[in-house]
Structure 1
Amino acid sequence: MCSLFRDPENRLQDSTPFYLKPGGKTVENEIADLSLTIGNIIGQASAEGREVVFLCIGSDRYVGDSLGPLVGSMLEDSGVPYKVYGTLKDPVHAFNLKGTIKEINRQFTKPVIFSVDASLGTKEEAGSVIFREGPVKPGKGIEKVLPSVGDYHFAGVVNYIDPLPTSQFLNDTRLYTVMTLAQAIVKVITATLPDENQ
């Protein structure tokens, strides 16, 4: 759905973000640190009897917007013990996001939701994964008004903002970039599992 990460009006996203740069020299340490953080969040949720849900937002019709469905499919394939919404087979996008949120809230009582979405950012942020507390604003980067969702979110910065229309950047995004970001996010999440589940 392509959330716009830098949104000065969105005060819900003013917590300190965690940056992970796949291919960087310290990426393994960054993955380990972020996995520990997420593992603690999941552990606390389990102790409180709350379900953990991964809501992977986007469409497989545009390379730049396919991050969420790719992550969702990879998580399902890896056998994570969490509920996953949004895969390549059954994507969660602008037309069914509201219904999916209602379904999650009907099925679970106070779930801890991790949202995953593609994002546009600065040139320096492009190719990074950003994890942050608070909801993601899907569609913000392409000027769609959709509900904010998630207790925490992953934003994969698939491209950067330029004077050209933002929709053009979704079309010009490299599949390699999206796959690299998706693999990094899945590696972070699966690293939170006990060894026998990986």
Structure 2
Amino acid sequence: MSSPSNPFSNQQPACLKIPHTDPEIHSALTHRLLFHLSQVKDWQPLIVVCVGTDRSTGDCLGPLVGTALTRYKSHLFHIYGTLEEPVHAVNLQDKLSMIYDSYQQPYIIGIDACLGQSSSIGCIQINEGPLLPGAGVKKQLPPVGDIHITGIVNVGGFMEYFVLQNTRLNLVMQLSDTIALSLYAAIKEWKTPSTFFALRD
């Protein structure tokens, strides 16, 4: 797996991967998301699809992010997938069909938990291209997103369902808080850059 990238580089690599304990993580995630959002047309609706279920500790990252984002009550984006109304394997196809029927050429950001190497647990990744939900537990589900954000919540490669059920909630909540805060900051700066810089200065 790739090493953490420099978010301030002029040449943006395809993937950013950074530990949630990195003191620069909010800045790194926000800058990388701004790089991707700069390619979105002004008229494209921005959709955030948070995949996962509240019935599994490891798999509730997406719904936690969605719930955190709803607290901003922002009109800048639309959210699907919260603790109250999760988007998961059973309803994912229907939700995606509804989104594409409701919005013209939406730009979708997919968010989900994933499993990885033990050394990568606690890392957050931003990748170009769609999310492949269910891949870690050998499920074939429709791809989600123009870009995607994942949090590595535990080790993969064996007994994936058991591993997800026995993932520490504290780690998942830390990852979800970081993702939600960084994503909202990036969207707000992308939509209202002059206001953001004035407040920051």
TM-score by length of 2: 0.83
Aligned to 2:19: 21
Query: What amino acid does structure 1 have at the position aligned with 2:68?
Result: M
Q: Aligned to 2:162, which of 158, 168, 173?
A: 168
Aligned to 1:75: 69
Please say if residues 131 and 155 of structure 1, whose CA atoms lie closer than 8 Å, have aligned partners that are also in contact: yes
Query: What amino acid does structure 2 have at the position aligned with 1:138?
Result: P
Please say if residues 115 and 135 of structure 1, whose CA atoms lie closer than 8 Å, have aligned partners that are also in contact: yes
Structure 2 residue 28 is the aligned partner of structure 1 residue 33: yes
1:108-187 aligned within 5 A: 108-162=103-157, 164-187=158-181
Please say if residues 20 and 31 of structure 1, whose CA atoms lie closer than 8 Å, have aligned partners that are also in contact: no
Number of positions where the alignment pairs a residue of Structure 1 with one of Structure 2:
180
CA–CA distance in structure 2, aligned partners of residues 74 and 140 of structure 1: 25
CA–CA distance in structure 2, aligned partners of residues 68 and 159 of structure 1: 15
Query: What amino acid does structure 1 have at the position aligned with 2:183?
Result: I
Query: What amino acid does structure 1 have at the position aligned with 2:71?
Result: D
TM-score by length of 1: 0.84
The alignment-based identity, stated in percent, is: 33
Aligned to 1:11: none
Name the Cα RMSD after superposition. Answer: 2.1
Gaps of 5+ in 2: 3-12, 190-195
Query: What amino acid does structure 1 have at the position aligned with 2:91?
Result: N
Query: What amino acid does structure 2 have at the position aligned with 1:189?
Result: L
Q: Aligned to 2:50, which of 39, 56, 64?
A: 56
C-alpha displacement of 1:43: 4.2
CA–CA distance in structure 2, aligned partners of residues 40 and 167 of structure 1: 35
User: Greater RCO between the two (CA within 8 Å, min separation 6)?
Assistant: 1
Gaps of 5+ in 1: 7-14
CA–CA distance in structure 2, aligned partners of residues 33 and 166 of structure 1: 30
CA–CA distance in structure 2, aligned partners of residues 46 and 78 of structure 1: 23
> Runs (4+) of structure 1 moved beyond 3 Å?
194-197
